[in-house]
Amino acid sequence: MSGYFLRRLLLIIPTLFGILLLNFVIVQAAPGGPVERMIAQLRGMDAGAGGQFAGSRADFVATDTGGGSSYRGSQGLPPELLERIEKLYGFDKPAHERFWLMVRNYLSFDFGESYYRDRSVTELIVERLPVSISLGLWSTLITYLVSIPLGIRKAVRHGTPFDVWSSSLVIVGYAIPSFLFAILLIVLFAGGSYLDWFPLRGLTSDNWAQLSLPGKVVDYFWHIALPTIAIVIGNFATLTMLTKNSFLDEISKLYVQTARAKGLTENQVLYRHVFRNAMLIIIAGFPAAFISMFFSGVLLIEYIFSLDGLGLLGFESVINRDYPVVFGTLFIFTLIGLLLKLVSDLTYMLVDPRIDFGRRDL
């Protein structure tokens, strides 16, 4: 078993390398990079881009020698100005040198500096990480704690009125987009048109540092309540129905009938035999579900509730072509996903001790 997990840990390295290489190639081929954004700013086409060359239009008005450049819109720019812009963003080196330099820095978790925020990528990630961890962790925890027992209950009482009305509720919740439900919560409970019970922005209050420990805990959950509810309300349906169908499939198998024939109670049959088999497919989907809720699933929620998390940071970085932040957040999410996959394998063995990955090939 130890050999299997050692091989899986070592496999993370080439997997990370391959993902970074693939995304690096795609990003380099995409138009509208940071150099072109700066050129557009200098020409007055993108006033919101920001940068160190703002106000330097006189640098290129006097000269018209940039016609040979490969950048769009660079006609009329002097070569020396283009060289300064390329050096600023690291594009004065060939693509393969930039990639290997990035990989070498990533080995020490040095993600470089943001192009437009004048801060290191590590600082930005550390600053936004508490928001994403809070939303992803609590949303995933609540979803699993509610959906799994509910799915088991629905499987046991399949076809009863409880099964019918609970299915109706979870399907209605699934049909409502999370961002729309978030707006509804704001209107009802966050000072919209009715009640003003919950704050609308931030993860903590401005005076959080002066609060006592119980006060900090209450303040934290007070701020995270509405965003978490908005995220989980639409995630109950998939996991609940998956759990129900998985248990129904196992209950219909021959070994369950044999266990009942031996005189075991329904709870013994359900939790001693059916549970460990039915839960495997649910455990297998946990890493993808967590990463999805950690990043893409909370993007609009972060925006609506003014929460600066990694999802919003990654999205803004892609729009602004802030490549160091894009690759830094991609590296973090990929690493977390691969480690969670390893944890899910360990959970396999805890649920069903008959599974022995040490005897299997990768």
77-125 pLDDT tens trace? 667 777 777 777 777 778 888 888 888 888 888 888 888 888 888 888 8
Helix (H) or strand (E) segment spanning residue 3: helix 2-29
Task: Tell me how far apart the 2 most distant CA atoms of the chain are, in Å.
Answer: 94
d(C-alpha 31, C-alpha 114), whole Å: 19
Q: Find, among 296, 333, 321, 314, the residue nearest to 30 by Cα.
A: 321
Residue 353: which pLDDT band, with cuts at 50, 70 and 90? low
d(C-alpha 212, C-alpha 332), whole Å: 33
pLDDT at 56 over 70: no
Predicted pLDDT of residue 34: 72
pLDDT at 201 over 60: yes
Domains of the chain with CATH codes: 1-44+76-108 (no CATH), 126-351 (1.10.3720.10)
Q: For the residues 199-228, what does the mean pLDDT come to?
A: 86
Predicted pLDDT of residue 356: 62
Residue 307: which pLDDT band, with cuts at 50, 70 and 90? confident
Highest mean pLDDT, choosing among 129-143, 158-172, 188-202: 158-172
| Token duo for residue 20 | 């970074």
Predicted pLDDT of residue 165: 92
- Percent of the chain predicted with pLDDT > 90: 2
Residue 325: what residue type?
V
d(C-alpha 304, C-alpha 298), whole Å: 10
Residue 183: what residue type?
I
Helix residue ranges per DSSP H, 233-268: 236-251, 254-261, 266-268
Predicted pLDDT of residue 192: 67
pLDDT at 53 over 50: no
Query: 60 versus 235: which is more confidently predicted?
Result: 235
pLDDT at 220 over 50: yes
Residue 75: which pLDDT band, with cuts at 50, 70 and 90? low
Q: Find, among 37, 49, 48, 47, the residue nearest to 73 by Cα.
A: 37
pLDDT at 337 over 70: yes
Average pLDDT, the chain: 78
pLDDT at 208 over 70: yes
pTM of this prediction? 0.72
